[in-house]
Amino acid sequence: MACKSCCGNQREEKLSNSAFPLTRYEVLEFLGRGTFGQVVKCWKKGTNEIVAIKILKNHPSYARQGQIEVSILSRLSQESADEFNFVRAYECFQHRSHTCLVFEMLEQNLYDFLKQNKFSPLPLKYIRPILQQVLTALLKLKPENIMLVEPARQPYRVKVIDFGSASHVSKAVCNTYLQSRYYRAPEIILGLAFCEAIDMWSLGCVVAELFLGWPLYPGSSEYDQIRYISQTQGLPTEHMLNSTHPFWRLKTPEEHELETGIKSKEARKSTYQQI
């Protein structure tokens, strides 16, 4: 991927598979934890470089997904990270049976930015450049997270990060890890065949959240998620469900609770009429 040299010049560089251990870096700060591992802020010893290192869990299933992520990052390294607005990946290495991925350090994720601003709705003049940048990234990949690069110096300059759940569409397997619940497409909730369109659904939910100041579909369960979606978008079409029954309906919250013992919740700030 494109990376900066010490003098600030940019060059294209493929993701390298390094034999250097984690001891080459000094851990400065713990940044967060996810399904597949944790992320730490590090100083690369002997240089002025500050990077983010994603350390994957030492588990066979996570290791396999890690290999997919490395493969995707290696493929993306042939493209311009700045032009297509995705995070630069510098190298990967093994440390005590953990796969470690080294990325450029970005400033703040979009959620923390909204939280810092007390979830105030963003004006459309700020939403548009964010949307344009993520749509550009979608030309090359399937995104999970959106980061602000440097909010103080470059307001609303964003990059897409985290390819832990990414896959080539021809090899994708449906599971809930593909998308966070609030942004999960109906195809994923219902276990149906899917394509890149699920990314457009997620992006639409993100843009709505920026405009409203709160999540559009904040379901506490998959049932509530599909209930919220159905109340605004209507029920999924028959061809999506591939149902043998000519008619079907979504169970009421009371029926769902009686069957599962799980009480439905109303987590929305506001409800909307069907469109």
Q: Which residue numbers belong to the known binding site for ATP?
A: 54
Residue 58 has pLDDT above 70, yes or no: yes
Task: Average the pLDDT over 254-271 and give the result.
Answer: 88
- Whole-angstrom distance, CA of residue 168 vs CA of residue 55: 23
Task: Average the pLDDT over 39-57 and give the result.
Answer: 92
Ordered domains of the chain (ranges, CATH): 25-104 (3.30.200.20), 108-260 (1.10.510.10)
Q: Which pair of tokens denotes residue 223?
A: 């049932």
196-245 pLDDT, tens digit each: 888 889 889 999 999 999 999 999 999 999 999 999 888 887 777 765 55
Q: Which residue is listed with tokens 């030492």? A: 58
Most confident of 17-31, 190-204, 238-252: 190-204
**Which of 197, 200, 171, 175 is closest to 188 using CA atoms?**
175
3-state secondary structure at position 160: strand
Please name the residues in contact with 214: beta carbons below 8 A apart, sequence gap of 6 or more: 119, 268, 269
Q: Which pair of tokens denotes residue 31?
A: 């940044």
Listed range (15-19, 29-33, 122-126, 216-220) with the worst mean pLDDT: 15-19
Q: Which residue numbers belong to the known binding site?
A: 54
Q: What does the pLDDT read at residue 103?
A: 93
Task: Average the pLDDT over 161-182 and give the result.
Answer: 61
- Whole-angstrom distance, CA of residue 125 vs CA of residue 156: 10
Residue 42 has pLDDT above 80, yes or no: yes
pTM > 0.75: yes or no: no
Residue 22 has pLDDT above 80, yes or no: no
**Which of 173, 170, 175, 201 is closest to 189 using CA atoms?**
175
Task: Average the pLDDT over 169-198 and give the result.
Answer: 76
**Which of 203, 101, 115, 209 is closest to 162 using CA atoms?**
101
